[in-house]
Amino acid sequence: MIYMDTSIYEQKLFEGISLSDLNTLLDCLGCSKKEYRKQSIVFNEGKVIDRFGIVLSGSLHLCSYDFYGNRQIITNINKGEMFAESIAISGIPLPFEITAAQDSNILFIKYNKLASVCCKACQFHTRLINNMMNILAVKNINLTQKIFHLTAKTVKEKILSYLNYVSK
Residue 160 pLDDT: 85
Alpha helices in 16-154 (DSSP H): 19-28, 85-90, 111-115, 123-150
Residue 1 pLDDT: 46
pLDDT at 109 over 60: yes
Of 35 and 12, more confident: 35
Give the model's confidence band at 12: pLDDT under 50 very low, under 70 low, under 90 confident, else very high.
Answer: confident
Residue 27 pLDDT: 81
* Residues 126-147, mean pLDDT to the nearest whole number: 88
When the pLDDT of each residue in the chain is averaged and rounded to a whole number, the result is: 87
Residue 4 pLDDT: 54
Burial class (CB in 10 A: 0-12, 13-18, 19+), 52: buried
Cα–Cα distance measured from residue 144 to residue 159, given in angstroms and rounded to the nearest whole number: 16
* Residues 105-110, mean pLDDT to the nearest whole number: 93
Torsion sign, CA atoms 129, 115, 7, 19: positive
Give the model's confidence band at 6: pLDDT under 50 very low, under 70 low, under 90 confident, else very high.
Answer: low
Cα–Cα distance measured from residue 156 to residue 145, given in angstroms and rounded to the nearest whole number: 17
Query: How remote is the C-alpha of 68 from its chain's centroid?
Result: 28
* Residues 2-22, mean pLDDT to the nearest whole number: 75
Q: Which residue, among 88, 113, 103, 82, has the nearest Cα to 11 in the 3D structure?
A: 82
Of 6 and 51, more confident: 51
Q: Which residue, among 86, 70, 60, has the nearest Cα to 140 in the 3D structure?
A: 86
